[in-house]
Amino acid sequence: MSTTAKKAPPAPPAIASPFDAELGTDEKILWSGRPGVAAYTMAHARAAVMVVPFVGMAIVSNSFVANNNHLESLSIVTWVFVAIALFYMVAPIGANLKARWFVFYALTPKRLLILHTYPKRHVKAFAVKDVRRVVAKDVSRGVGTLLIDADGAVSKNPARPRAGFYGVAYVEKLVEAVATLQAANKAQ
């Protein structure tokens, strides 16, 4: 009777993380996730408020051209106001699509990372030691938003909300993890 050694099954292929190119040699991901679509969309919804003044300016501009029958080139200004209003109206819809496929979050021992892969790949990184605080907001059944208080995290542009992890599960655990990492960095 011949005895044949069974070969071990091949190891499953390693799943590539979207953050692989962004990590340092000694850095590893402690947590990663995706935004909650509704929370991310609502964070961008404040841009829709900007529709009102631009539509109002378009109406005023158009009525001035229509009533006075002069300055026909002013009608171009009307269409510029309409185009800007459309941009602000579509911004939340674009945010909804972006949250579904193109935004990723990660926490490493050194940084909080927000990765956008479309239309251009860019990363917002906040060093844990430089973060003044993180705040859990709108928490419901463990899902909420982790807002980051650090340089470069707050935007005054209505189409871009404050930097944070929007609509993530176990947000309180993330706040605790960041506090633990900050304490460990201070101890070193």
pLDDT tens per residue across span 119-131: 899 999 999 999 9
Dihedrals φ, ψ of 93, to 5°? -65, -45
Q: Is the pLDDT of residue 74 over 80?
A: no
* pLDDT at site 14: 61
Does some domain include residue 16?
no
Mean pLDDT computed over 40-53 = 89
Is 149 found in the same domain as 130?
yes
Task: Provide DSSP, 109-162.
Answer: SSEEEEEE-SSS-EEEEEEGGG--EEEEEEEETTEEEEEEESTT-----TTS--
Does some domain include residue 72?
yes
Residue with more model confidence, 19 or 163: 163
Residue with more model confidence, 13 or 112: 112
Name which of 6-15, 27-36, 75-84, 146-155 the model is least confident about: 6-15
* Arithmetic mean of pLDDT over the chain: 87
Measured distance CA(161)–CA(114) in Å, rounded: 13
Does some domain include residue 106?
yes
Using a cut of 0.85, tell me whether the model's pTM lies above it: no
Domain that holds residue 156: 102-187
Sheet containing 111-116, strands listed edge to edge, beginning at the edge strand earlier in sequence? 31-33, 103-107, 111-116, 122-127
For residue 4, what pLDDT band results from cuts at 50, 70 and 90? low
Is 120 found in the same domain as 64?
no
Mean pLDDT computed over 144-165 = 88
Name which of 47-56, 120-129, 156-165 the model is least confident about: 156-165
Does some domain include residue 26?
no
Which of 95, 120, 136 marks a domain boundary?
95
Measured distance CA(113)–CA(23) in Å, rounded: 10
Mean pLDDT computed over 64-68 = 69
Listed residue (119, 115, 148) closest to 132, CA to CA: 148
Q: Is the pLDDT of residue 70 over 70?
A: no
Domain of residue 172, CATH code: 2.30.29
* pLDDT at site 12: 65
Q: How many CA atoms lie within 13 A of 151 on its CB side?
A: 3
Q: Please state the domain count of the chain.
A: 2
